[in-house]
Amino acid sequence: MERHFDEELQSLHKDILRMGALAQEAIYKSVEALKNRDRTTAEEIIKGDSKIDHLEVDIDEKCIDLIARHQPLASDLRFITTGMKINTELERIADLAVDISQRVLELSDKPLLKPLIDIPKLSAIAQDMVRDAIDSFIKKDAGLAREVVLSDSEADKLRNYVQNELVNDYMAKDASTADRAVPLLLVARHLERVCDHATNIAEDVVYMVEAKVIKHHPESLQ
Amino acid sequence: MQKIEVKKLNLWYADFHALKDVDVSIGEKKITAVIGPSGCGKSTLLRVFNRMNDLIEGVRISGEVFIDAENILAAQADLVKLRKKVGMVFQRPNPFPLSIYENIIFGPRIHGFENRYELDRIVEKSLSSVLLWDELKDKLNKPALLLSLEQKQRLCIARLIAVKSDVLLMDEPCSTLDPQATARIEELMRELKNNYTIIIVTHNMQQAARVSDDAGFMLLGELVEFGRTDDVFTRPQDKRTEDYITGRYG
């Protein structure tokens, strides 16, 4: 039986997808700005964040309104509560794009410390994880969501590698490199946080689809 | 601990098969909600527990229903004792056209209580249990029919407490009450479950979710799903339950 409520859920679904697209775009552009040392794009990302903030508030209000008016249960309840959580994660991903953009501004007038090799790799993982997490939400695909969760360890390893390299090979040997090494170190940290948020989205998707809590239960991924 | 065990229960109203192979265990001192669309058999199931269906012509029952390990469907079951133990609250409160005091002592008198001091004590205890004593202690001789709907419903629950029922069957007990009175009756149910086993039939899904510990979903005479209320309302196992509680059934 088709319900009017379904139309409202569809509308919420579309808003979350729009939020996902904006967050993905912000991350992609911030990493491109870093690679190209592009101040203009970095400034655009910082300026454009308020649009994402507003959408986050709109989605939250829509979710609260749906809960208040329809008192949803079962899969409807799981969809709305998951939608609210994903909304927050996406807004934080967009905030991290802003953080990366600020690092781009800090680095743009300084010579590059080293060729960027591992940070683009980490950014590729982060973007794949965000894309797959959102896809798993769209397709209600708990299998894909689990794959996203599993790939987080790779991001952690790469972040540690970048960190060790910048600290041991540069800052420890020559303290004057710190003003160029620290922003890169932070970028790696920001990207790793993006991966964490993608992981959270994926864990929420598994709950939405299967009503199983896998958060903090690594054994349930097997 | 289980208070009621239902095993392979079937019930027919003449040719109509109203309950089909129902198996369920109902926990002691818990609130169990039975939900389902109209005509699914939930009130019929409720009435099995104090054999109210016996009053309907053409009813046939098979299976077993144990309350405190005693098969209440057995031929030798003592119905007076059963209906004392298992009381029922109906959709519309039905106080007798007597005083508040007389309503409460009606049951105990039938069961042989005559001592005035004892009866006074029962009245105070029963009305206190439903949080009516303070409101009504000075109006005990007033007609019960003058009470508000909510007070009447509380009085009906007090009547069951007066005869020391320990299973309370509630058939849509709040359907005629406003939201505030409903909230107060639900609060009372939570209080009562410390001492009583409560089974509530309700069409109000939110009420079932709010008030019960366990919940069962019935459809076409079948108990489709039974489990912890948290599970039934957030992660139902059967698609028919999911469809019903999300309003897709129809």
Q: Are residues A137 and A201 in contact, defined by beta-carbon separation less than 8 angstroms?
A: yes
Number of residues written out for chain B: 250
- Report the residue of A2, A5, A67, A73 to disrupt the B interface, i.e. the one with the largest count of B CBs within 10 Å: A73
Kindly state whether A171 is in contact with chain B, defined as any CB-CB distance less than 8 angstroms: no
| CATH code (residue B152) | 3.40.50.300
Range of the domain at A205: 4-221
Q: Is residue B77 part of a domain?
A: yes
Range of the domain at B194: 2-245
pLDDT digits (tens, 9 = 90+) for B25-84: 999 999 999 999 999 999 999 999 999 998 899 999 999 999 999 999 999 999 999 999
Q: Is residue B250 part of a domain?
A: no
**Confidence category of residue B156, pLDDT binned at 50, 70, 90:** very high
Kindly state whether B179 is in contact with chain A, defined as any CB-CB distance less than 8 angstroms: no
Mean pLDDT computed over B193-203? 95
Residue recorded with tokens 């996406």: A90
Coil, helix or strand at residue B223: strand
Mean pLDDT computed over B114-128? 94
8 Å CB contact of B234 and A78: yes
CA distance B152 to B145: 7
Burial category of B159 from C-beta neighbours within 10 Å (exposed 0-12, middle 13-18, buried 19 and up): buried
Q: Is A31 left (phi over 0), alpha (psi -120 to 50) or beta?
A: alpha
How far is the alpha carbon of A222 from chain B, nearest alpha carbon, in Å? 21
Spell out which residues of chain A touch residue B236, defining contact as CB-CB under 8 Å: 74
pLDDT digits (tens, 9 = 90+) for A56-79: 999 999 999 999 999 999 999 999
Nearest chain A residue (CA) to B231: A74
The per-residue pLDDT for A161 is 94
The per-residue pLDDT for A216 is 80
8 Å CB contact of B247 and A5: yes
Coil, helix or strand at residue B187: helix
* Residue A194 pLDDT > 60: yes
| Residues whose CB falls within 8 Å of the CB of residue B150, separated by 6 or more in sequence, listed in order | B177, B181, B184, B185
* Residue B250 pLDDT > 60: no
Q: Which runs of E-coded beta strand occur in B120-177? A: 167-171
| Residues whose CB falls within 8 Å of the CB of residue A83, separated by 6 or more in sequence, listed in order | A12, A13, A16, A59, A63
Q: Domains in chain B: how many in total?
A: 1
Q: Could you tell me the pTM of the whole model?
A: 0.82
pLDDT digits (tens, 9 = 90+) for B212-226: 999 999 999 999 999
Spell out which residues of chain B touch residue A80, defining contact as CB-CB under 8 Å: none
| CATH code (residue A53) | 1.20.58.220
Pairing of strands B59-67, B31-35: unpaired
Quote ipTM for the complex. 0.71
pLDDT digits (tens, 9 = 90+) for B172-184: 999 888 888 899 8
Number of residues written out for chain A: 222
How many helices and strands, by DSSP H and E, does chain B display?
Answer: 10, 10
Q: Is the dihedral of CA B138, B194, B176, B83 positive or negative?
A: negative
Q: Domains in chain A: how many in total?
A: 1
The per-residue pLDDT for B231 is 93
- The token duo for B159 is 């009547």
Nearest chain B residue (CA) to A207: B235
Q: Give the H/E segment covering residue B63.
A: strand B59-67
Average pLDDT, chain B: 94
Q: Is the dihedral of CA B14, B19, B25, B29 positive or negative?
A: negative
